A and B are shown apart, each in its own frame.
Chain A
Amino acid sequence: MDEALRQYRLDLLRAQLSRRRFMTLAAFGGASAFLAACSGSSATSAPSEAASSAPSAEPSTAEASASAAPTAAPSYELEGELDLYNWSGYFSPDNQKTFQDQFGISNFVYDSYASNEELVTKLKASGTGQYDIAVPTAEFVATLAADNFLQKLDKSRLPNLQYISKQFKGMPFDPNDEYLVPKDWGTTGIIYRGNKVSETIASWKDFFDLAKTKYSGKTLVVDSPGDVFVAPLRLHGFDVNTTDSGELEIARKELLALRPHLQSIDSDNYPTTLQNEDAVMGLAWNGTAYLMQTDTSGKYKDTKYTVPTEGTIFWTDTWVLLADAPHPNAAYAFLDWIQDPKIQVVESLYAGYASCNDAAKPLLPPDFANNPAVYVPDDELSRLSISTDQSGNQQRADIWAEFKQG
């Protein structure tokens, strides 16, 4: 009972946090415990072992003791301070220490926000010049750039951008890659408990069929219209970002037919709901599946994650350099250093999400890099499409209100 209460309190504290942050924190009360579970060794040694055993993408000598081989020291003077505005628990404390030691940043400020909207609101209300770096989700970069909150990046100062995967170059929110440095990414799909769900769920069709029959009352969806709309739209082969009223009307009918069978519509407590088996199947985010599989108790190892065959969306979080950043040199040093493959390894294992860095992937432990709940298998990449922010569409807003009301 105490444990459950503690969990709910934790959950509540981050009730406003979005998917990644929530799940990151949920299982990472102790990052070391998690890492021990995932790699079988201690938090600090796991990445370095992986790094030294794999053929290194970094030519410099990787000492076994240094989990991060230094990126070449910058030729410019650093400020000694860096102000980071980020989701909470979304930057490895080990990496922070490495960065501070390596670059002599004595004052590292880490403030956090709980949603992209909050980031935008804060910048609009109190202006730039307060922080150096922020971490918006890619679809918000266009908005931020249009409002002059971002600086164009000087790529000559960011040689490590060469490691960025092609998948994350030229995204529609920043077609010329002028503003963003991809951080990590994830997908929306179907999570289910293998112990309770005997069928193999491969598609949205399976999801709808089973939710309305065998697992009626045992199915959940996250409380996020941008994600939930994907299921009915892809089920009928429509574009995930469609604004066509006929297509949305079909999606509406599917959603309303699904509604009576749902156990909950919830983004905050749903990992607990799946753990308790109050629901055994859900439309949710991949990180939850991974964290449940690797939970130290080992009770949720049966959790499975599917990237539906009809296709789904992926999201990307990005590092951006804010306009009027008070410490631009330290910020550039950070943005380049963070894409060092070995730093990325520490970062990925901490956050539990797939890195956008090609060179980091081979350095990651195989059970991480080959886990379909983290990295979408190569042959399934074609199922993914980028979602754009459709929250302003009135028809979608109306359908969502109707769906919520039931």
Chain B
Amino acid sequence: MTSDARAPGRVRSGLVTGLLMAPATFWYLVLLVLPLAIVVIYSFGVRAPDGGYQAAFTFDNYGTLLKRPGPFTSSLLIAVSGTILCVLLAFPLAYFIATRATKRKGLLLILLVIPFWTSFLIRTISLVIILGSDGIGGFLSNLTGQNVQILGTMWAVLIGIVYNYLPLMIFPVYVTLERLDRTLLEASKDLGAGRWATFRQVTLPIVWPGLITGSILVFIPLMGEYVVPAILGNGKIFLIGNVLQLDFLSSRDWPAGSAKAVTLIFVMLVTVSFYLWATNRGRRGREVSLL
């Protein structure tokens, strides 16, 4: 009797679960798995005479890619240095907001969010004016008496990237710091640890997940970044995103572009996996030492 009564309920709950999961599954399959499969298939094809894709099976697209790894190394360089800069800038600020800015905390957080109310593009384009010959670039030129060009250099791209992505680093770090129990720091002090030792052995392990989340949030989009170099690079900074744009829209060589896209995904997979593996290993080691 009882089992009979329960069965429909179980079916219904299974049905509800299925229904609730359906949109996400659909989203995942149709908008991620399927396009990815198409990109992988295209990457083995050849360019149709009028551009686009023509079915074939060749590794040429990957072969030619190795001949010119420049954009990949530039992208990697920008992504790594951008992430490191974001960490260096975000950590002190997040620490300050979480621990010192008692009453102004809400205000400071809102100030961090406000830039997001403006379109990413508008913010980046504003930097063209700020860094250009009517802005900092012109100011430095007048100051030094030399023609200082910031736009069109890696520095401009780096500034634009850090400016746009910094909040993505600050918030995860802030959230972990917010949960930091101040009594732990006092305990550490009582037990004779110096400031540096406390930071290294108490604060850092607690903040670590936030730093990793922030780094991944910043690093992954940076690898494919297209807009910032396109706007601030004066067309002279050639990252992997710009290469993809060129392949798909200008030379209309979809297979070549697909091969690069697949390679980019692969590079990111390897980099992020290695990063996670390395950081987790480091953490585990420290936990063991703490024990």
- Cβ contacts under 8 Å, B234 to chain A: 263-266
Given contacts A263-B152, A392-B252, contact A405 B134 (CB under 8 A): no
Contact call B235/A8, Cβ cutoff below 8 A:
no
Contact call B50/A143, Cβ cutoff below 8 A:
yes
Given contacts A397-B253, A405-B71, contact A1 B129 (CB under 8 A): yes
Contact call B236/A264, Cβ cutoff below 8 A:
yes
Q: Taking A15-B230, A265-B236, A406-B236 as given, write out 9 further A-B residue pairs in contact, using a Cβ cutoff of 8 Å, ordered by the A residue number.
A: A117-B249, A217-B147, A225-B251, A263-B152, A392-B47, A392-B253, A397-B246, A397-B253, A401-B238
Q: How many residues of B contact A (CB 8 A)?
A: 36
- Pairs of residues from A and B, 4 with the lowest C-beta to C-beta distance, nearest first: A265-B235, A264-B234, A266-B235, A405-B238
Contact call A392/B238, Cβ cutoff below 8 A:
no
Contact call B129/A4, Cβ cutoff below 8 A:
yes
- Cβ contacts under 8 Å, A394 to chain B: 64
Contact call A401/B152, Cβ cutoff below 8 A:
no
- Cβ contacts under 8 Å, A33 to chain B: none
Contact call B133/A276, Cβ cutoff below 8 A:
yes
Interface residues of A (CB under 8 A from B): 1, 4-5, 8-9, 12, 15, 115, 117, 120, 143, 146-147, 217, 223-225, 262-266, 269, 276, 278, 391-392, 394, 397-398, 400-402, 404-406
Interface residues of B (CB under 8 A from A): 47, 49-51, 64, 68, 70-71, 74, 121-122, 125-126, 128-129, 132-134, 147, 149, 152, 230-231, 234-236, 238, 242-243, 246, 249-253, 256
Contact call B121/A12, Cβ cutoff below 8 A:
yes
Contact call B129/A115, Cβ cutoff below 8 A:
no
Q: Give the docked Cα–Cα distance between A5 and B118 (Å).
A: 13
Q: How far is the CB of B269 from chain A (nearest CB, A)?
A: 24
Q: How far is the CB of B127 from chain A (nearest CB, A)?
A: 10
Given contacts A223-B235, A276-B134, A405-B238, contact A9 B125 (CB under 8 A): yes
Smallest Cβ-Cβ distance to B122: which chain A residue: A9
- Cβ contacts under 8 Å, A147 to chain B: 50
Contact call A5/B51, Cβ cutoff below 8 A:
no
- Cβ contacts under 8 Å, B253 to chain A: 392, 397
Contact call A404/B246, Cβ cutoff below 8 A:
yes
The 27 listed contacts between A and B (C-beta, < 8 Å) are: A1-B129, A15-B230, A117-B249, A120-B50, A146-B50, A217-B149, A262-B236, A264-B234, A265-B236, A266-B235, A269-B128, A276-B134, A278-B132, A278-B133, A391-B51, A391-B252, A392-B50, A392-B252, A392-B253, A397-B246, A401-B68, A401-B246, A404-B235, A404-B236, A404-B242, A405-B68, A405-B74
Contact call B250/A391, Cβ cutoff below 8 A:
yes
- Cβ contacts under 8 Å, B129 to chain A: 1, 4-5, 8
> Which interface residue of B149, B235, B249 has the most chain A CB atoms within 10 A?
B235
Q: How far is the CB of B287 from chain A (nearest CB, A)?
A: 45
Contact call B68/A406, Cβ cutoff below 8 A:
no
Q: Give the docked Cα–Cα distance between A12 and B125 (Å).
A: 8
- Cβ contacts under 8 Å, B126 to chain A: 5, 8
Q: Give the docked Cα–Cα distance between A33 and B122 (Å).
A: 27
Q: How far is the CB of A221 from chain B (nearest CB, A)?
A: 9
Q: How far is the CB of B99 from chain A (nearest CB, A)?
A: 37
> Which interface residue of A8, A217, A263 has the most chain B CB atoms within 10 A?
A8
Q: Give the docked Cα–Cα distance between A120 and B252 (Å).
A: 12
Q: How far is the CB of A313 from chain B (nearest CB, A)?
A: 17
- Cβ contacts under 8 Å, A4 to chain B: 129, 134
Contact call A117/B238, Cβ cutoff below 8 A:
no
Q: How far is the CB of A104 from chain B (nearest CB, A)?
A: 39
Smallest Cβ-Cβ distance to A402: which chain B residue: B68
- Cβ contacts under 8 Å, B133 to chain A: 276, 278
Smallest Cβ-Cβ distance to B152: which chain A residue: A264
